[in-house]
Amino acid sequence: MEIKIRKYNSRESLWIDILNQTKVKDLLEIGVYKGEFTEVILNNCEAIENYLMIDPWMQLNNWDKPLNVDNSILQSAYLEAIQRTKRFGKKVQVIRGTTVDVIDNVEDNLLDFVYIDGDHTLRGITIDLISAWKKVKKGGMIGGDDLTQNLWQHGPQHEPTLVFPYALYFAEAMKSTIFLLPFNQFLIFKNEDKYEFVDYTGTYQFFGLKKLIPKERTLKQALIDRILKCFRG
């Protein structure tokens, strides 16, 4: 697959260009929240015929990230997402629940593109990528957010973000091409014949964890912070 990467001013403008270049029709977004990204994509990608949205919009016991907030806040986010997308009518289908619970509502080999912006912990990105893979057509794509080399993206009081380097390992296991894109985005092309990574940013110089893990003192402080958080409730 060939895509032309130009200069962009946001992740939204990047994905609009890629989706229009590849004429995506059937799309799934995992991790919707208020539907702001969804609305922008639907407004600017006329080829899209079906846009599926997966999000639990509920507080989860096993998710340690900042957006795991009170259910009343998440319900408001859900209603906002519905409001933002209702004018697109039957193009939009809402599937409310966690990926592992609801992904089987999506037909295998159906989708041209899946965009993952949900649980960025190691557990979350593992579940989302593996679950989404079988839903994508041969020759389709999986994209995602937060391919950051900062493991402590949300501070040591939360689980580390491990989209990077897991997404690269996943692409290698699937013998597929991964594009490393601006704005901490990634794109995996489902070719399943040869692993290759293409770095359009020139910033990903190593793909292990050794240089990303903080020194011992920082790890101890992170542990202390987590213990104090538990005591404080």
Q: pLDDT, tens digit, for every residue of 68-117?
A: 778 899 999 999 999 999 999 999 999 999 999 999 999 999 999 999 99
Kindly report, residue by residue over 158-200, the tens digit of the pLDDT.
Answer: 888 999 999 999 999 999 999 999 999 999 999 989 999 999 9
Assess if residue 5 is contained within a domain: no
In the chain, the number of structural domains is 1
Dist CA 38 CA 28 (whole Å): 10
Terminal-residue alpha carbon distance, the chain: 50
In a domain, 88, yes or no: yes
Instruction: Kindly report the pTM of this predicted structure.
Output: 0.90
- The CATH number of the domain holding residue 126 is 3.40.50.150
Tell me the CA distances in angstroms from 32 to 80, 200, 207, one per residue in order: 11, 26, 28
Reading the block at residue 95, the tokens are 């599937």
Residue 113 domain flag: yes
Quick check: is 142 in a domain?
Answer: yes
The angle at the Cα of 45, spanning 83 to 92, to the nearest 5 degrees, equals 40
Is 4 part of any domain? Answer: no
On whether residue 99 sits in a domain, the answer given is yes
158 neighbors 66 (Cβ within 8 angstroms): yes
Distance CA 32, CA 16 (A): 17
pLDDT at 230 over 90: no
Element at 74 (helix H, strand E): helix 71-85
Tell whether 27 is covered by a domain.
yes
- Which range of residues forms the domain containing residue 84? 11-232
The two structure tokens encoding residue 77: 């986010």
Residue 110 lies in a domain: yes
